Amino acid sequence: MKSEKYQSTKTNRFYPGRISEERIRQLESYLIPIDELTTDDIAFTLTRARTAWIYALLGYIERKWGEKEAEEAARTIGYYMGRAQMKRRLQALGTDRQTAEQMAHYQDLNHAYGGVTSSDNYSEYDDENVMIYRKSCAFHSLRPPGMKSYCRPIIEGYITAYKELDKGIVGFKDEACLCKGDDHCYGGFIYKKP
């Protein structure tokens, strides 16, 4: 049986919750009759809820103890989320070392789980690099209006956890990021040569 190489998903065809800005405003006003809610409305709202909970916690920490402590909390949140996810992934594969191809598959799948803000995210890979492209980010794009982005420390936490668990990773590249003012994110993992 021939084993086929993983092909990155570069389409948003399977993402529910892609709704208009007007529909978002209607949802935020809580004035939509309940029998008019759609599955897209619910998918979008659930995607936003994850970010809202994280930012509510980080906002509280920032107000009570300061920005430095909130950044550390964001890093810790990213670390524990990334650690839990990668630990399950590696256990399922029965290894402590993914290939770049396996990491690309994991990244695409994990972003699919992330909901509508991840619908334009995809990975590219070769034998030694897995690069992730994002037009939007759950940890940046859906943060509350006027609130500082804690995307960077959250992602740093993920990177730390992944590098600790996946023994194939030797580094990380960070070429562009929405939280730095770029119009997209582009970064990824460097893997040991096979």
Q: Which CATH number belongs to the domain containing residue 126 in this structure? A: 3.30.1380
Please indicate, yes or no, if residue 13 is contained in any of the structural domains: no
Please indicate, yes or no, if residue 31 is contained in any of the structural domains: yes
Q: Is-contact 50 115, C-beta < 8 A?
A: yes
Q: Which pLDDT value is given to residue 18?
A: 81
Quick one: which of 144, 138, 142 has its CA closest to 119? 138
Most confident of 56-65, 110-119, 128-137, 185-194: 56-65
Please indicate, yes or no, if residue 5 is contained in any of the structural domains: no
- Which tops the pLDDT comparison, 24 or 115? 24
Please indicate, yes or no, if residue 1 is contained in any of the structural domains: no
Give the confidence band of 11 by pLDDT, cuts at 50, 70, 90: low
Please indicate, yes or no, if residue 12 is contained in any of the structural domains: no
Please indicate, yes or no, if residue 42 is contained in any of the structural domains: yes
Please indicate, yes or no, if residue 11 is contained in any of the structural domains: no
Residue 1 pLDDT exceeds 60: no
For residue 101, give its domain range: 21-191
- What's the domain count of the chain? 1
Strands of 122-125's sheet, edge to edge?
A: 122-125, 129-134, 185-191, 169-176
Quick one: which of 58, 62, 186 has its CA closest to 124? 186
| Residue that the structure tokens 């897209």 belong to | 40
Q: Is-contact 119 18, C-beta < 8 A?
A: yes
Q: Is-contact 79 164, C-beta < 8 A?
A: no
Give the confidence band of 174 by pLDDT, cuts at 50, 70, 90: very high
